Structures are given as C-alpha cells and as structure tokens.
Amino acid sequence: MIGSKRKVIGVIRELEKEGVPRAAFERLHAPMGLDIGAVSPEEIAISVTAEMIAVRRNAESNWRALSMSVCAAEARRAAVLAK
C-alpha cells in the first residue's frame, strides 16, 4: 500500500470501523519499502523493490526488521510482548 504512515493508519482505522478484522492487515506492507535510509526517488524505488523481492522470494533473512510497514512494526511489538 502506498501512502504516508499517517494515511495508512487512518485507512486501517476506517476499515476496522467497517468490521475488517485486525488479522486481515497482517499481509499489508505499508508504507512500502525497507528502511535503508533512502532519500532520493531512486533510493526509495530500490527500497520498495527490495521489499517486493523479499516477499516474492519468501526470504529467510530478517528483512522484516528493516520493513517500514506499520503492521510489521505492530507484529514485531506483539511478538516481543508475547515472549
């Protein structure tokens, strides 16, 4: 999903109000791109492409730790709290 973190959170909240379960967002990658410190449009494109490749190839590395996804951050937080 393309959009700022604020926009993504707003969309998720609206969808939850409409009854979409929280679990439905686990596959959501938003905002897209790995957190590689990208600034220029070219670097942002590389970070988005890198995340797309990781998802497509089901990468075993800890690439999710570099994910900027709002939902990934919440999943990591929940996993830490569950330990």
- Residues 11-68: tens digit of each pLDDT: 889 999 999 998 888 778 787 888 888 899 999 999 999 989 998 998 888 877 777 6
Domain boundaries, the chain: 5-82
Residue 72 main-chain phi, psi, to 5 deg: -65, -40
pLDDT attached to residue 14? 93
Q: What is the pLDDT of residues 4-26, one digit of tens each?
A: 788 888 988 999 999 999 888 87
- CA dist., res. 19 & res. 25, Å (int): 12
Classify 2 as helix, strand or coil: coil
| pTM higher than the cut 0.95 | no
Report the chain's C-alpha Rg in angstroms.
13
- CA dist., res. 1 & res. 48, Å (int): 11
Residue ranges in 24-69 assigned as alpha helix (H):
41-56
